[in-house]
Amino acid sequence: MATSASSKLSKTVKELYMALPQGNKVQAMYIWIDGTGEGLRCKTRTLDSEPKTIKDVPEWNFDGSSTYQAEGSNSDMYLIPAAMFRDPFRRDPNKLVLCEVLKYNGKPANTNLRHTCKKIMSMVQDHHPWFGMEQEYTLLGMDGRPFGWPTNGFPGPQGPYYCGVGADKAYGRDIVESHYRACLYAGIQICGTNAEVMPAQWEFQVGNCEGIDMGDHLWVARFILHRVCEDFGLVVSFDPKPISGNWNGAGCHTNFSTKEMREDGGLKVIEESIERLAKRHKYHIRAYDPKGGLDNARRLTGHHETSNIDEFSAGVANRGASIRIPRTVGQEKKGYFEDRRPSANCNPYIVTEALVRTCLLKEEGDEPADYSSKSTA
């Protein structure tokens, strides 16, 4: 199995240095989404004291020409701190700081989808929209092969791997456990994990998160997973169909509810929302992966526990539908629904925003409405 060269460096020696006192100084690792809309970047600065709130973290900048976000002749981009977490790698009092990116003129960068999502969430805050996202991913070696797979062949067919236990069924649990504990330390709302159907494929769940917190927590959980894999010398892939053929793809099923849905009789509100989603299927497919549906076209085939990308469907306990109503929700007549269409590499800001636009703001048509002239104060 091809692991990275840096993973072979002595972690024991590193710990000698990491155990040194740092005085009153604090290391703040700034994290942002690059120009691909999928990649994460980071860099660190020293603060003179521990920030108590996000407002205590100063704005910063970076060279956007090296992150696919600016031309070299005008490359300064600005990092605006948006959410702060404990740093599980450097530990307290150090911080992870998720940032929005602004251009030189103060306007949001093209891949800064948080900016609009926050505005939309502020318009519906009285509905208390809750989200839970189920992030599937695949562990790869440096050679691009799924971790633990034979170099010149394939493992046995799918069946024994989902929620499996044993060396011949669970590939890479050390990474999963390390990531889980790191997320708990950081303050991520991680609520579970399990091995998935394809060997070397796993899932973690984040939620419940309200409003903009969903995107913040999922992006930082992804960052932490990348860092954990870096330490182990492997690579994490969020590709929605990493291996072609008779293997399951990877999604990011999104659970959604509002205050009205969670109250007695909420099933009626859920059904009304599903009716609106049915009329806006194309808009959601475009929003649910970074390439406007092209990535999901490889995954949403109607096979391997997916719906067909060209057709909208809904059903109780139906994992082959676009929208699944859990059986307990059908019985209790209230709760939430699960949108099974988002891809593993989706942007959680645009996914959650799209659900709010359709279900709460009751938008119609294939394009999102423009609220730029309306105040949300």
The answer to whether position 9 is within a domain reads no
CATH code of residue 84: 3.10.20.70
Q: Are residues 105 and 154 in the same domain?
A: no
Q: Are residues 102 and 174 in the same domain?
A: no
Q: Would you state the pLDDT for residue 90?
A: 98
Tokens standing for 42? Answer: 């980071």
Could you give the CA distance from residue 368 to residue 350 in angstroms, rounded to a whole number?
A: 11
Residue pair 299/249 in contact (Cβ under 8 Å)? The answer is: yes
Q: Would you state the pLDDT for residue 377?
A: 40
Q: Are residues 224 and 257 in the same domain?
A: yes
H helices within 146-190, ranges in order? 173-186
The answer to whether position 193 is within a domain reads yes
Q: Are residues 139 and 259 in the same domain?
A: yes
DSSP letter for 240, please.
S
Between CA 172 and CA 179, with CA 175 as vertex, the angle to 5 degrees is 150
Domain extent for 313: 121-359
Q: Would you state the pLDDT for residue 74?
A: 82
The pTM of the full predicted model, rounded to 2 decimals, is 0.96
The answer to whether position 11 is within a domain reads no
The answer to whether position 364 is within a domain reads no
Q: Would you state the pLDDT for residue 1?
A: 61
Q: Are residues 316 and 175 in the same domain?
A: yes
The answer to whether position 13 is within a domain reads no
The answer to whether position 131 is within a domain reads yes
Q: Are residues 151 and 78 in the same domain?
A: no
Q: Are residues 98 and 152 in the same domain?
A: no
Domain count, the chain: 2
CATH code of residue 326: 3.30.590.10
Q: Which long-range CB contacts under 8 A does 22-25 form with residues at least 24 apart?
A: 24/48, 24/49
Last residue of a domain, one of 80, 111, 142: 111
Last residue of a domain, one of 111, 137, 169: 111
Q: Which residues of the chain have pLDDT under 70?
A: 1, 373-377
Q: Would you state the pLDDT for residue 376?
A: 45
Tokens standing for 290? Answer: 């970074």
Q: Would you state the pLDDT for residue 305?
A: 85
Q: Are residues 246 and 136 in the same domain?
A: yes
Q: Are residues 174 and 224 in the same domain?
A: yes
Nearest one of 341, 149, 352 to 242, comparing CA atoms: 149
The answer to whether position 373 is within a domain reads no
Tell me the CB-side half-sphere exposure of residue 73, using CA atoms within 13 A. Answer: 0
Q: Are residues 69 and 135 in the same domain?
A: no
φ and ψ at residue 246, rounded to 5 degrees: -85, 55
Last residue of a domain, one of 71, 86, 111: 111
The answer to whether position 53 is within a domain reads yes
Q: Are residues 103 and 231 in the same domain?
A: no
DSSP class per residue in 17-64: HHTS--TT-EEEEEEEE-TTSS-EEEEEEEESS--SSGGGSPPEEEEG
Could you give the CA distance from residue 118 to residue 112 in angstroms, rounded to a whole number?
A: 11
Q: Are residues 249 and 343 in the same domain?
A: yes
